[in-house]
Structure 1
Amino acid sequence: MSDWTLEHVADRFTDAAITAQRLPPVRVQGYANSWPAILRKPWENMGAEPVVKRLPPDPAAIDRMLETFRWVKWLTEDQRHLVWMRADGCPWKEVCAHFGMDRTTGWRRWKAALSTVAVRLNDPEERISFN
């Protein structure tokens, strides 16, 4: 992509957040269970947590996610949290309450963080050193 805009950068962060949610869960290695699976009746499963079945992301989506993860090194810690909270779909009210700021200020800082990434991506020297 030759020209990165704020919308493209925001879409890429959202895509990276969705891809990260689709990854398989992390399990602790070394624990095994040799007991057979217990078949439960429907009334016994009433309080149990439902099994989450996720379709794993394709390799191209993972490559895009990893590239997007490298972009956050250009942002400050607060900007990283702000961008990722918005990419995860948190509402502005929750984001602004977390940072203790007004909605307009949060939106401006979010746009500033996205523009920082877009400017770095559009810089030809940065693109060469990025790889």
Structure 2
Amino acid sequence: MSAWTPKLVEARLSEAAFVLKRLPEPRLSGYFSTWPEVVQSFADKVGQEPKPMRVLPSPAAISRMEETLTWTAGLEPIDGQIVWLRAYGYRWREVCRAVGLQRSSAHHHWVFGLCFIAHKLNRRHVSQHLSMQQVIDLARADDPAL
């Protein structure tokens, strides 16, 4: 990969959230049932809704997801929360309610988070003295489509 852009970061975070949703639930070890499996006949199954099929993610997708989980470590907690809520597909109204910001401010934090992660992945030093808008402008200089 030559250079990370905020769009690529957003796509990878969305993929990681999708993988996290598809992982099986953790089970407590040591608990088991001594009851036999219930075998249902065709008459018992008539009228029931089919169970949704659960497709487990591939090992490569899980590895990418594990790598992605560490990306928000350098962000402020509110920025990381907004980035992950959007990756999970939450609407802006729900994001704003969760973090207590207006939509335009929450969007600004989200774009800053994506740009900051892209700079970090490209191994560029981002000074602590730069404002959020300056970090976004640096990313726009690299990718005018942003």
Does the TM-score normalized on the shorter chain lie above 0.5?
A: yes
Output aligned runs, 1:32-111, within 5 Å.
32-39=32-39, 41=44, 51-111=51-111
RMSD: 2.1
Structure 1: any 5+ residue segments left out of the alignment?
126-131
Same amino acid, percent of matched pairs: 37
Larger radius of gyration: 2
1:53 Cα deviation from its structure 2 partner: 3.5
Structure 2: any 5+ residue segments left out of the alignment?
126-146
Match of 2:122 in 1: 122
Structure (1 or 2) with the greater helix fraction: 1
How many Å separate the matches in 2 of 1:51 and 1:25? 16
Match of 1:129 in 2: none
Match of 1:26 in 2: 26
Higher relative contact order (CA 8 A, sep 6+): 1
TM-score normalised according to structure 2 size: 0.74
TM-score normalised according to structure 1 size: 0.82
Q: Deviations over 1:67-110 (max 9, x none)?
A: 10121212122122111110110000000011111111111100
Q: Which amino acid aligns with 1:104?
A: S
How many Å separate the matches in 2 of 1:52 and 1:81? 30
Tell me how many residue pairs correspond in the alignment.
122
